[in-house]
């Protein structure tokens, strides 16, 4: 964007408002509006000056964030990034907020180790920058209804393969990467998969704590089983494993058994979990047995890893621009020559189903 991104912070905590303001002040791309202590104050501010992005607290006394979000999206749509604490109630509410039109989730900044503060700043700033590029549309609801550290590559977690993947087996593996807009896009894909689909491993950029609620929500909607990945989980037909927030998730192999390794490590392409890390490990341990899919998201995480998958003989797909919320990650992968086929979101489930054998 040529101009500064105007951000309105809505949170009933003065401490959080101050912390978020300091985060945005660290990056010259942002212009901070006078923060609001609740949605009623925010509504008055919005009438006078429209922000590019809103960061919205989930739990507030006079009107909760979910109610305000629904009113905003039905009357005056503005990109919203939900700001939530790590509580069970907050996690479930925030997942619903994504379905109601919020662009992304961030966790409330906390004081702590220098590395934690810096990584939080990166996550928050990147989320709001991505949201500023999203065009949100009016929704109708029914009652049922900064200076970051050096950007690391996947080398920081898993070194490049020195030899081709092991010989082909009868089992296939699907690896999927997504970021901004990916929660709803993934729901669209996974809900349309049959029970005998090959095992799936997903990296969706989300903060720690929220992936478990996200997986639980999908598990209740899909024919296949969906769960947050745990270290050592076997990759099984009819199951999707969602990488836990703040942990890298890699594909591993022992004989004919595929399983996942969940581990710590530095940010890779500004993310943890990183799509590049998953894709590189898939290239190494599955090779021609794999299918790689890169979906909506800002930045370039996953592009190089998808190229490694293609070079290892995997089938590779990218979500098309028209159906992406942000056409960043797929676009970079396409430019690198990492993609065999560009596919609309509505056709991705069929492509995955075709890879059953």
DSSP string across 202-230: EEE---TTHHHHHHHHHHTT-SSEEEE--
The answer to whether position 235 is within a domain reads yes
pLDDT at 353: 92
CATH code for the domain in which residue 74 is found: 3.40.50.2300
Which stretches does DSSP call E strand in the chain? 5-10, 30-32, 53-57, 80-84, 104-107, 173-178, 199-204, 225-228, 239-242, 248-254, 257-263, 290-294, 315-319, 341-343
pTM of the shown model: 0.86
The answer to whether the CB of 319 falls within 8 A of the CB of 347 is: no
pLDDT at 159: 75
pLDDT at 91: 76
The answer to whether position 125 is within a domain reads yes
Domain match, 212 and 323 both? yes
pLDDT at 200: 98
Domain match, 173 and 244 both? yes
Domain match, 201 and 109 both? no
The answer to whether the CB of 61 falls within 8 A of the CB of 38 is: yes
From the first residue on, what is the mean pLDDT of each consecutive set of 10 residues in the chain (357 residues)?
88 92 94 96 94 94 91 95 74 85 87 68 93 90 54 74 54 96 96 96 94 94 97 97 97 95 95 97 96 97 98 98 96 98 97 82
The answer to whether position 144 is within a domain reads no
Q: Which of 64, 98, 132 is the last residue of a domain?
A: 132
The answer to whether position 146 is within a domain reads no
Domain match, 23 and 82 both? yes
CATH code for the domain in which residue 212 is found: 3.40.50.180
For 303, other C-beta atoms within 10 Å of its C-beta total 26
DSSP string across 20-42: HHHHHHTSTTEEE---BSSHHHH
Token pair belonging to 216? 């639980």
Active-site position among 52, 205, 300, 323: 205
179 catalytically annotated: yes
pLDDT at 155: 79
Domain match, 193 and 124 both? no
Domain match, 107 and 161 both? no
Domain match, 99 and 209 both? no
Active-site position among 38, 104, 301, 320: 301
For 93, other C-beta atoms within 10 Å of its C-beta total 18
Domain match, 223 and 112 both? no
Active-site position among 37, 127, 179, 323: 179
pLDDT at 166: 47
Secondary structure of residue 299 in the 3-state scheme: coil
pLDDT at 298: 94
Domain count, the chain: 2
Full domain range(s) for residue 179: 154-353
64 catalytically annotated: no
Domain match, 267 and 121 both? no
Domain match, 184 and 328 both? yes
The answer to whether position 159 is within a domain reads yes
Domain match, 119 and 166 both? no
pLDDT at 164: 52
Q: What one-character DSSP code corresponds to residue 327?
A: B
Q: Which of 99, 132, 165 is the last residue of a domain?
A: 132
């Amino acid at each position: 964007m040529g101009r500064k991104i105007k951000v309105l912070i809505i949170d009933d905590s003065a401490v959080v408002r101050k912390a978020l303001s300091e985060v945005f002040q660290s990056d010259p791309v942002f212009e901070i509006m006078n923060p609001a202590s609740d949605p009623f104050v925010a509504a008055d501010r919005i009438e006078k000056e429209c922000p590019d992005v809103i960061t919205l607290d989930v739990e507030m006394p006079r009107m909760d964030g979910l109610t305000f979000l629904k009113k905003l999206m039905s009357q005056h749509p503005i990109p919203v990034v939900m700001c939530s604490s790590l509580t069970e109630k907050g996690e479930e509410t925030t997942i619903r907020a994504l379905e109601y039109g919020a662009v992304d989730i961030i966790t409330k900044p906390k004081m702590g180790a220098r590395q934690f503060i810096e990584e939080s700043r990166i996550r928050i700033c990147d989320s709001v920058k991505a949201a500023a590029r999203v065009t949100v549309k009016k929704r109708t609801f029914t009652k049922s209804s900064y200076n970051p550290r050096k950007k690391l590559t996947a080398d920081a977690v898993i070194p490049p393969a020195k030899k081709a993947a092991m010989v082909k087996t009868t089992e296939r593996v699907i690896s999927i990467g997504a970021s901004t807009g990916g929660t709803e896009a993934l729901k669209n894909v996974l809900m349309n998969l049959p029970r005998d689909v090959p095992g799936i491993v997903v990296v969706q950029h989300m903060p720690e704590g929220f992936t478990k609620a996200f997986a639980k929500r999908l598990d209740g909607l899909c024919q296949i089983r969906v769960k947050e990945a745990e270290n050592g989980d076997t990759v099984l037909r009819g199951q999707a494993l969602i990488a836990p927030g703040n942990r890298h998730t890699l594909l591993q192999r022992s004989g004919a058994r595929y399983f996942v390794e969940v581990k710590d490590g530095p940010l890779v392409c500004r993310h943890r979990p990183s799509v590049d890390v998953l894709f590189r490990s898939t290239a190494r341990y599955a090779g021609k047995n794999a299918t790689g899919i890169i979906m909506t998201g800002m930045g370039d995480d996953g592009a190089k890893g998808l190229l490694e998958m293609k070079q290892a003989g995997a089938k590779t797909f990218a979500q098309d621009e028209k159906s992406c919320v942000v056409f960043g990650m797929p676009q970079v992968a396409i430019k690198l020559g990492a993609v065999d086929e560009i596919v609309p979101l509505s056709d991705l489930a069929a492509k995955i189903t075709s890879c059953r054998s």
